Amino acid sequence: MGGIRFPRPGSFLSRQRWSRLKLHDTFPPADTPDPILEAVKKGVAAGNVKQRPTQEIRKRARAVRDHARESDARAAAILELLGFVENYPNIEEFQKIVARLLWEVNDERALEAWLGVSLRFPKSMDAFQNFVQVAWRRKGPRAVSASLQARFPRMPKSLDQLLAYAEACDTAGEMTKRRAAFDQLSRMLAKRRESWLNASSWLEEEWGRYRTPGVILKRLAGGAGLRPQIVDNAEHLRTVIGEWEEGNSSTVTKDALASVRVLDVLFDRVLQARQSGISSASHRKTGSLVLLTGSLATGGAERQLVTTAVGLSKMSPQQRTLRDGVVLDPVKVIARSLYDRKDGQFFLTDLEGAGITVQSYRELPDFAGDLATSAVRPALRALGFLPWSTAEAVMKLTDHLRSISPEVVHIWQDGLVFAAGFAALLAGVPRIILSGRSTPPPDRRENYLVEYDIIYRSLLRAPGVKLTVNSRYAAARYAAWLDMAPERIAVVPNGVARLQSAGDPWSQSAFRIFSERVGPDVLTVGAVMRLDEVKRPLQWVDAAAAISSRIPKACFIIVGDGPFRKRMEKRAVALGIAERCLFVGRSACVGFWLSKMDALMLLSAHEGLPNALIEAQLAGVPVITSPAGGAPETLISDVTGIITSVQPTPSEIAEIVFRLSAEPRRLERMSVEAERWATAAFPVSRMLASTLQLYGEVGDSGLVREPS
């Protein structure tokens, strides 16, 4: 019964180096019981503890899970799978399947479920890592820190526990502990005569390459699944790399990362093969368009992808005909995953309602289930040198793209450009569009890997590949990073539709109650944003408090959700403005809430081309924004909105808002001009036309498939 014991005070389990009770007590009891625990208890009571499932039974449980995902019938599947848990209460796999499905359907019991699995199977670092991710999304980094301290009062010694510990430190923002974990890993590898080829390359010149210890540890954990070739000394490492460098006998030094050198040679070979596909023959007449995204969660880039996909799918075949005669049909969307984030399916109904097929490539089999015929075989030995997200995409996506043979693959956001760009090259996709939506990776060094330089530059060397961004600011930043002329980067501004101002019953009721509470207001300042660190939400609350001190009857409406929501609410209480703040949460009625605002305020540290600013102006709401990224390009300064200093203080913002409130006629003029400007500057029709023009231009390279 080792996997399902429940510790009691004074028992042997409670005297171990870490206490399950302490970990359990980091969260208050849930209002509803953990269904997995209930099934386990029933199984124990029925005497099923020693039962062991056959392989056939395990396959049956997985089939139930897979069918539930395909048919979107997870709720019924959870009930069926709990029967497997009851019959085999000591089997970790069944409990994890149920916990994952609970998380995928956004069931509030998912946190309690993952906590329970990690307690019943304390050696399962996979269960603990899933628990950490759910805890972070539901409770925030402080909860993860408390759980980390309870689970690992001391730094673990085994490799799998150290990797889980380091990732949890990274999630919780525990920088000192994260660095200590990396140092410990370095010492562990140094003591071994044999280490992974991946580890050898990843650990070279670590501190000078902008990679954080947490990122390295995550990549080591991911790379372990590839089971790369064992390397027992530096000479062997040099020999393996030399095979990729076609006889180059130079040694691996601190100034020449093995991963970069291997990738450079690998891309040279792939690009040579792609060049051989150039021909003067005519293109095929019809080919599909695939738009690739990380998820369908709430976000500006995701919204633009959906707007593009739906808009193009509604066009006639004649309208979707490129200038070289190729008709794009049908339009498809592939996401990395629809389940990794709580809101990962937010836009799914919009796409399905337009008749667009949506897939998740993480659900696809590696190498399409047949490594022998895979297009990845020529690059197989180099997978260990790719960032893990890229290696995963290559294994999952390359052969799938080759089988569906799209004419255009449009990849959205840098993270997926790195992950899927190489897969599209290997698959021989004729036209590949890379959409960098915000600022280049070096500007966001917490996620930056030095391999990204060679991946991006190599992709752009390929015929039939084009980079596009949505702001002039982003074009200039990418051009500086990639050492290329800004005019080589296509700028396609967002296309934004006017939102409906009607509200659902809940929104109308919430606003009525809020209005009754605050009474007649002088000015309503609002926000529509994801409540995460990039948006500087705590500074937003500080600014609201400063505004309230100047305009006591001002009130504030915050639309959106995220890990900082509870911290914002607590800050509002501490500053004495909670009664005048309405935290709406995630809403499908953004237009309704915009209609209740006199001004919208956005104080982001980083931005692309913020849809929220455009949507507000379309609704006749003047905007106040920091000059982050392309935000200034969304408005006419002092005409449709106001741009703050780079690091605006609460008093500066309060002064701006106070002056607006003192000049109601100016505010009215700004409202009229905002609507007029946004309507003319960001029409969806222009964005779609520019996108189709871009698809046609990239076809001028001459790379073709056989006509169909």
Does residue 383 sit in the same domain as residue 490? yes
Q: How many domains, the chain?
A: 3
CATH code at position 123: 1.25.40.10
Does residue 518 sit in the same domain as residue 374? no
Strand ranges across the sheet with 465-469:
357-360, 327-335, 286-293, 408-412, 431-435, 465-469, 490-491
Quote the percentage of the chain above a pLDDT of 70. 79
In DSSP terms, which residues pair with 292 in a beta bridge?
A: 334, 411
DSSP state of 281: S
In a domain, residue 500? The reply is no
Does residue 457 sit in the same domain as residue 599? no
Q: pLDDT-based confidence at 260, cuts 50/70/90?
A: low
- In degrees and rounded to multiples of 5, residue 498 shows phi and psi of -65, 135
Structural domain for 452, as ranges? 287-495+688-701
Which of 125, 153, 181 is the last residue in one of the domains?
153
Question: Between 129 and 462, where is the model more confident?
Answer: 462
In a domain, residue 279? The reply is no
Which of 123, 153, 183 is the last residue in one of the domains?
153
Does residue 485 sit in the same domain as residue 616? no
d(CA 278, CA 273): 10
Residue 671 has pLDDT above 70, yes or no: yes
- Would you state the pLDDT for residue 346? 85
In a domain, residue 246? The reply is no
The arithmetic mean of pLDDT across residues 672-693, rounded, is: 96
Does residue 484 sit in the same domain as residue 515? no
Distances (CA, A) of 83 to 35, 64, 274: 11, 12, 52
CATH code at position 420: 3.40.50.2000
Does residue 616 sit in the same domain as residue 667? yes
In a domain, residue 220? The reply is no
Residue 702 has pLDDT above 90, yes or no: no
In a domain, residue 193? The reply is no
In a domain, residue 192? The reply is no
Does residue 24 sit in the same domain as residue 106? yes
- Would you state the pLDDT for residue 309? 96
Does residue 110 sit in the same domain as residue 149? yes
Does residue 56 sit in the same domain as residue 110? yes
Yes or no: say if 223 and 217 are a contact pair by the CB < 8 Å rule: no
β pairing state of 327-335 and 408-412: unpaired
Does residue 424 sit in the same domain as residue 451? yes
In a domain, residue 179? The reply is no
Distances (CA, A) of 193 to 139, 161, 200, 608: 42, 21, 12, 47
In a domain, residue 267? The reply is no
The arithmetic mean of pLDDT across residues 639-652, rounded, is: 94
Does residue 677 sit in the same domain as residue 692? no
At 18-50, the pLDDT tens digits run: 455 555 555 555 566 789 999 999 999 999 988
Which of 153, 173, 196 is the last residue in one of the domains?
153
Residue 146 has pLDDT above 50, yes or no: yes
At 509-547, the pLDDT tens digits run: 999 999 999 988 779 999 999 898 889 999 999 999 999
At 554-565, the pLDDT tens digits run: 999 999 998 889
Tokens of 527: 């926000």
Yes or no: say if 550 and 658 are a contact pair by the CB < 8 Å rule: yes
At 283-317, the pLDDT tens digits run: 578 999 999 998 898 778 898 999 999 999 999 99
Does residue 332 sit in the same domain as residue 300? yes
- Would you state the pLDDT for residue 283? 59
